[in-house]
């Protein structure tokens, strides 16, 4: 009998397994595809590996501006090989961690057949990929089954070999000359940046008025403008407010904002209209777990409606990001440990907020395109919708010596800080477009999570020369 049975070995599942194993709990982790889940195998890591090659290519192409001459080309097959090497090394690393923390692994599908109830343990059927079926008992169950690409019923898209999702595009045999991207969210924008840097003509068709809908409305246009020419030879054209009507081969038919029909003729179409939680593989119904189309319903300690069953990560629909899955997994693991040990998992942070709960006030996000964009906390528009009056300051990236030294596209991108007008003038949001944004955005999360005030940030010392100094410079303008 196990203390905890975890279904799904992505960031949510393996991180929870580590934390529970570290607490000496007997853990069984069941993963039906690959350890590392979406993030490591077909998400965060492969995209960033490909993007890094594309950024290297662009930088090398621009080398003459930095006084470095080189005859540059790229080899897509070699780029793919490097991506596969990186993901397989990291997978081995996770397997090593599972061993280190005494976590038992089953490669196969897990399905809840009986929920834990009072003193009765829960039962999970595991169907190992090698064949056979075994039932396992667990005192509690944690579901981390993740998400998969959504496939809207657009006429002509189903079973069309020219239409791929993010997983399909990651391993495409060749770089398309013309790529149509349906959806201007994070995934669509990252792929648009990647393939335009490698020379493709990319068209992004987005139904909303702006790309990356949760971005600050002053910043999203900066990202769009900066993306138009990545320096790699390709281009990105954005069709905003346009609705895709049908697909025919690799030609996407859409209607414009004004209602007129247009067609984007491409070689390949990426369907990137979002992801849906996996609710149908692990016995949610049989266990009586509350779900909505957005995901498994949980409280802020990641408990489902069924005592003894927790859920974390994309499957909850709360935030479809790997670091959110990590945090939800930590919250769930701490709560499970307290439940198994009969203690309390509650604690409090410096700011007095309960620490072992899922909070989404300071979840940073990043788009790792060319250039990058990142943000955390409130946008100006969100503050206005909440009736909060704010002060704001923006500085262009080119004001940073480090940025100017290392980038040819100086002038593009900016850093924007938002704070409350009312005393104590807390920092409410940090938003950035430009290189390194993803690396320094955690600082904004720390400022917001710890409820620092404008005056507090003015006391901090930032290293020079760095791009993140712009945060301090912007704060001094507030
Ligand atoms: C192209 C792309 C790029 C991305 N880039 C980023 C990024 O840069 N940063 C970021 O934060 N996020 C990124 N994401 C999102 C990130 O991948 C997810 O938020 C993260 O993987 C969620 O982790 P998870 O553990 O909840 O689910 P998943 O990683 O989806 O893992 C769930 C696992 O459960 C397994 N499973 C499902 N049902 C069963 C079952 N019944 N039995 C056994 N196993 C089962 C699945 O096989 C899967 O491995 C990206 C996603 C995509 C698609």
SS (H, E, C) the chain: CEEEEEECCCHHHHHHHHHHHHCCCCEEEEECCCCCHHHHHHCHHHHHHHHHHHHHHHHHHCHHHHCCCCCCCCCHHHHHHHHHHHHHHHHHHHHHHHHHCCCEEEEEEEEEEECCECCECEEEEEEECCCCCEEEEEEEEEECCCEEECCCCCCCCCCCCCEECHHHHHCCCCCCCEEEEECCCHHHHHHHHHHHHCCCEEEEEECCCCCCCCCCCCCHHHHHHHHCCCCCCCEEEEEECCEEEEEECCEEEEECCCCCEEEEECCEEEECCCEEECCCCCCHHHHCCCEECCEECCCCCCECCCCCEEECCHHHCCCCCHHHHHHHHHHHHHHHHHHHHCCCCCCECCCCCECCCCCCCCCCEEECCCCCEEEEECCHHHHHHCCCCEEEEEEEHHHCHHHHHHCCCCCCCEEEEEEECCCCCEEEEEEEECCCHHHHHHHHHHHHHCCCEHHHHHCCCCCCCCCCHHHHHHHHCC
Q: Which of 48-62, 218-232, 332-346, 402-416 holds the top average pLDDT?
A: 48-62
Mean pLDDT value of segment 351-371 = 86
Mean pLDDT value of segment 223-237 = 90
Residue 353 pLDDT class (50, 70, 90 cuts) = low
Q: How far is the CA of 438 from the centre of ligand 1 (A)?
A: 20
Predicted local distance difference test score (pLDDT) of residue 322: 98
Atom of ligand 1 nearest to the CA of 170: 1
Taking 80 as the threshold, does the pLDDT of residue 348 lie above it? Answer: no
Taking 70 as the threshold, does the pLDDT of residue 349 lie above it? Answer: no
What torsion, rounded to 10 degrees, do the Cα atoms 175, 179, 183, 189 define? 50
Predicted local distance difference test score (pLDDT) of residue 343: 85
CB count in 10 Å sphere of residue 131: 7
Taking 80 as the threshold, does the pLDDT of residue 466 lie above it? Answer: yes
Q: How far is the CA of 147 from the centre of ligand 1 (A)?
A: 6
Percent of the chain with pLDDT over 70: 97
Atom 50 of ligand 1, residue of closest alpha carbon:
43
pLDDT tens sequence across 409-457: 655 799 999 999 999 999 999 999 999 999 999 999 999 999 999 999 9
Q: Which two tokens stand for residue 376?
A: 């955390």
Atom 45 of ligand 1, residue of closest alpha carbon:
8
Predicted local distance difference test score (pLDDT) of residue 119: 82
Q: How far is the CA of 437 from the centre of ligand 1 (A)?
A: 23
Residue 228 pLDDT class (50, 70, 90 cuts) = confident
Higher pLDDT, 112 or 131: 112
Percent of the chain with pLDDT over 90: 91
Q: Which two tokens stand for residue 95?
A: 């397997």
pLDDT tens sequence across 147-172: 999 999 999 999 999 999 999 999 99
Taking 60 as the threshold, does the pLDDT of residue 351 lie above it? Answer: no
Predicted local distance difference test score (pLDDT) of residue 355: 74
> How far, CA to CA in Å, does 423 sit from each of 5, 427, 455?
48, 11, 10
Predicted local distance difference test score (pLDDT) of residue 161: 97
Atom of ligand 1 nearest to the CA of 166: 1
pLDDT tens sequence across 373-415: 999 999 999 999 999 999 999 999 999 999 999 987 655 799 9
- Residues lining ligand 1, judged by CB closer than 6 Å? 7-13, 30-33, 37-39, 43-44, 47, 109-111, 144-147, 166, 187, 278, 281-282, 313-315, 320-323, 325, 368
Atom of ligand 1 nearest to the CA of 44: 5
Pocket test for ligand 1, best of 145, 169, 190 (most atoms within 8 A of CB): 145
Mean pLDDT value of segment 312-335 = 98
Q: How far is the CA of 84 from the centre of ligand 1 (A)?
A: 17
Q: Put residue 183 in one of left, alpha, beta given phi > 0 → left and psi -120 to 50 → alpha.
A: left
Higher pLDDT, 117 or 332: 332
Q: Decide if 59 is catalytic.
A: no
Mean pLDDT value of segment 261-268 = 98
- 253 in Cβ contact with 217 (< 8 Å): no
pLDDT tens sequence across 183-199: 999 999 999 999 999 99
Taking 90 as the threshold, does the pLDDT of residue 230 lie above it? Answer: no
Selecting among 59, 136, 323, 464, the annotated active-site residue is: 464
Atom 33 of ligand 1, residue of closest alpha carbon:
8
Mean pLDDT value of segment 257-286 = 97
Pocket test for ligand 1, best of 9, 34, 44 (most atoms within 8 A of CB): 44
Atom of ligand 1 nearest to the CA of 328: 26
Taking 80 as the threshold, does the pLDDT of residue 229 lie above it? Answer: no
Taking 90 as the threshold, does the pLDDT of residue 347 lie above it? Answer: no
Q: State the number of CA atoms in the 13 A half-sphere of 389 facing the CB.
A: 4
Mean pLDDT of the chain: 95
pLDDT tens sequence across 19-46: 999 999 999 999 999 999 999 999 999 9
Q: How far is the CA of 361 from the centre of ligand 1 (A)?
A: 22
Q: How far is the CA of 164 from the centre of ligand 1 (A)?
A: 18
Predicted local distance difference test score (pLDDT) of residue 118: 81
Mean pLDDT value of segment 43-51 = 98
Atom of ligand 1 nearest to the CA of 321: 19
Atom 8 of ligand 1, residue of closest alpha carbon:
44
Higher pLDDT, 345 or 102: 102
Q: How far is the CA of 145 from the centre of ligand 1 (A)?
A: 8
Q: Which of 316, 332, 333, 188 is nearest to 252 (CA)?
A: 188
Predicted local distance difference test score (pLDDT) of residue 346: 55
Predicted local distance difference test score (pLDDT) of residue 248: 97
* pTM listed for this prediction: 0.96
Atom of ligand 1 nearest to the CA of 35: 49
Predicted local distance difference test score (pLDDT) of residue 176: 98
Taking 80 as the threshold, does the pLDDT of residue 233 lie above it? Answer: yes
């Amino acid at each position: 009998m196990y203390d905890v049975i975890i279904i799904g070995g992505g960031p949510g599942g393996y991180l929870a397994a580590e934390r529970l194993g570290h607490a000496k709990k007997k853990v069984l982790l069941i993963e039906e595809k690959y350890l590392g889940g979406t993030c490591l195998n077909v998400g965060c890591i492969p995209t960033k590996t490909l993007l890094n090659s594309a950024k290297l290519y662009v930088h090398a192409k621009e080398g003459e501006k930095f006084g470095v001459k080189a005859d540059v080309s790229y080899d897509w097959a070699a780029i793919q090989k490097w991506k596969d090497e990186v993901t397989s090394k990291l997978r081995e690393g996770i397997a090593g961690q599972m061993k280190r923390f005494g976590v038992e692994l089953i490669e196969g599908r897990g399905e809840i057949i009986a929920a834990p109830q009072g003193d009765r343990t829960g039962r999970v059927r595991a169907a190992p990929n090698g064949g056979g079926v075994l039932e396992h008992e667990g005192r509690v169950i944690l579901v981390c089954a993740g998400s998969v690409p959504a496939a809207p019923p657009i006429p002509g898209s189903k079973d069309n070999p020219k239409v791929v999702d993010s997983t399909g595009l990651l391993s495409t045999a060749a770089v398309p000359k013309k790529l149509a991207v349906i959806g201007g969210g994070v995934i669509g924008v990252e792929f648009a940046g990647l393939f335009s840097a490698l020379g493709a003509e990319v068209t992004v068709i987005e139904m909303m008025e702006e790309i990356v809908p949760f971005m600050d409305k002053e910043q999203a246009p900066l990202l769009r403008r900066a993306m138009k020419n990545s320096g790699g030879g390709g281009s990105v054209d954005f069709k905003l407010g346009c609705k895709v009507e049908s697909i025919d081969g690799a030609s996407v038919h859409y209607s414009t904002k004004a209602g007129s029909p247009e067609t984007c003729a491409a070689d390949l179409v990426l369907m990137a209209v979002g992801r849906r939680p996996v609710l149908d593989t692990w016995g949610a119904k049989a266990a009586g777990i509350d779900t909505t189309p957005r995901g498994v319903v949980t409280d802020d300690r990641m408990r489902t409606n069924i005592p003894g069953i927790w859920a974390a990560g994309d499957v909850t629909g709360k935030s479809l990001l790997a670091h959110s899955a990590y945090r939800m997994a930590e919250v769930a693991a701490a709560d499970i440990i307290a439940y198994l040990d009969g203690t309390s998992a509650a604690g409090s942070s410096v700011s007095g907020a309960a620490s072992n709960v899922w909070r989404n006030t300071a979840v940073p996000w990043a788009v790792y395109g060319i250039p990058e964009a990142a943000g955390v906390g409130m946008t100006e528009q969100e503050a206005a919708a909440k009736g909060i009056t704010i002060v704001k300051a923006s500085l262009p990236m080119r004001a940073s010596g480090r940025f100017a030294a290392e980038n040819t596209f100086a002038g593009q991108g900016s850093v924007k800080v938002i704070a409350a007008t009312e005393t104590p003038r807390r920092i409410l949001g940090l938003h950035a477009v430009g290189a390194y944004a993803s690396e320094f955005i955690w600082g904004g999360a720390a400022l917001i999570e710890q409820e620092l005030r404008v005056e507090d940030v003015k006391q901090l010392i930032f290293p020079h020369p760095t791009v993140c100094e712009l945060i301090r410079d912007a704060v001094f303008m507030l």
